Amino acid sequence: MARKIGCLTGGGDCPGLNPVIRAVVRKANHEGLEVIGIRYGWKGLVTLDTMPLDAQSVSGILPKGGTILGTSRTNPFKDEKQLAQVIDNYKKLGLEALIVIGGEDTLGVAAKFADKKLQIVGIPKTIDNDLSLTDYTFGFDTAVNIAMEAIDRLHTTAESHNRVMVVETMGRHAGWIAVYAGIAGGADVILIPEEEIDLDRVCDLLRKRHSRGKQFSIVVVAEGAKFKKGEVVTQENKIDEFGHVRLGGVGHILGEKIEEKTGFETRVTVLGHVQRGGSPTAFDRVLGTRFGFEAVRLILEKKYGVMVSLQGNKIVSVPLQQVAGDVKLVDASLYEIAKVFFG
């Protein structure tokens, strides 16, 4: 009887998930392991919704965005019945181990199940790049390139109309996308969750730029950036199963305030989920492939309760418990570099 491992993707989708799944299947099959795909994240282990994963099912998925397994934001630890079902179904499937591909919340659940003796290996996924103990997560590079291209395109229309263009990127707790895309796209101001927005300073920078003859400006703001009162801007008060509100709208408020204070015509572009979609970059395809390969290798060595991680150019493993609940914020030194170009 073949040894079986499971694989699931949870939380927000991102480019690079399919390359990971493909690598897991190809490496596992090469080693004589059978792979069972768990559909729709942790929800699939609650409802026992699975699909076989073999060479044919992963053929051609390398360049595709999203995840062939589907995803959800199900948190089985919110319900004792669901918690018991996950453990029971893990046993029913006869899994030797489970590969969990996800971000802070999905891996937080994985860490708790590892405490309950489920044999788990985590793979870090988030376009926000805010998971600790790994230099990069796959999906981030693609999101940055999408945001950078948008900023490049907005430069021409901003210059044509002598406008201030506010670009809102994703980034709940950390401004990695905003900083990287802002620097690469030549933004004139970059605002991130790590530092409260100083509206007066922003407007002064824009005025100084205009006084030098530059009649247009690009302002990049992460969705989780906060004004001085310290509150994030939300689309609604409803929270998900992990206690998160739905962010969005800071760009529009910022644009209104800039136009009101400076008199400069201002327009707002919210990039939103377009940053999650589409084909992954070469970097994310290769990183995802390396992560998937290493996760299976760790299972073969019976090393569980760990997450694969990129440190420098090496793929290593780190304890899941140390990753859960620890957000990696933007390096202060990187933001200082960005500030040199403000205004």
pLDDT, tens only, 288-327: 999 999 999 999 999 999 999 999 999 999 999 998 778 8
| Residues sharing a CB contact under 8 Å with residue 27, sequence separation 6 or more, in sequence order | 292, 293, 296, 297
What pLDDT does residue 195 have?
93
Tell me the average pLDDT across 80-100. Answer: 95
What pLDDT does residue 240 have?
55
Q: Tell me: the pLDDT tens digits for 64-84?
A: 999 999 999 889 998 899 999
Least confident segment among 28-32, 163-167, 228-232: 228-232
CATH topology of domain 3-138+280-323: Rossmann fold (3.40.50)
Residues of the chain with CATH 3.40.50.450: 3-138+280-323
What pLDDT does residue 168 have?
96
What pLDDT does residue 343 have?
79
Beta bridge pairs of residue 270: 168
Residues of the chain with CATH 3.40.50.460: 144-276
**Above 80 in pLDDT, residue 239?**
no
What pLDDT does residue 323 have?
87
- Among 161, 212, 208, 153, which residue's Cα sits nearest to residue 185? 153
Contact status, residue 226 vs residue 174, Cβ threshold 8 Å:
no
Dihedral over alpha carbons 133, 138, 139, 143 (to 10 degrees): 70
Tell me the average pLDDT across 29-46. Answer: 96
What pLDDT does residue 246 have?
58
What pLDDT does residue 122 have?
97
On the CB side of 242, how many CA atoms lie within 13 Å of its CA?
Answer: 19
Tell me the average pLDDT across 205-230. Answer: 90
Is 88 annotated as catalytic? no
What pLDDT does residue 315 have?
97
> What average pLDDT is seen over the chain?
92
Tell me the average pLDDT across 262-282. Answer: 93
- Among 106, 167, 116, 160, which residue's Cα sits nearest to residue 137? 106
What pLDDT does residue 242 have?
53
Q: Measured on CA atoms in the order 1, 24, 326, 271, is the torsion positive or negative?
A: negative
Six token digits for residue 219? 């302002």
Bigger pLDDT: 236 or 191? Answer: 191
What pLDDT does residue 228 have?
76
CATH topology of domain 144-276: Rossmann fold (3.40.50)
Residue 241 pLDDT grade (very low, low, confident, very high; cuts 50, 70, 90): low
Dist. CA 197–CA 251, nearest whole Å = 12
What distance lies between CA 90 and its chain's CA centroid?
Answer: 27
Tell me the average pLDDT across 148-164. Answer: 92
**Above 60 in pLDDT, residue 223?**
yes
Catalytic residue among 88, 105, 115, 128: 128
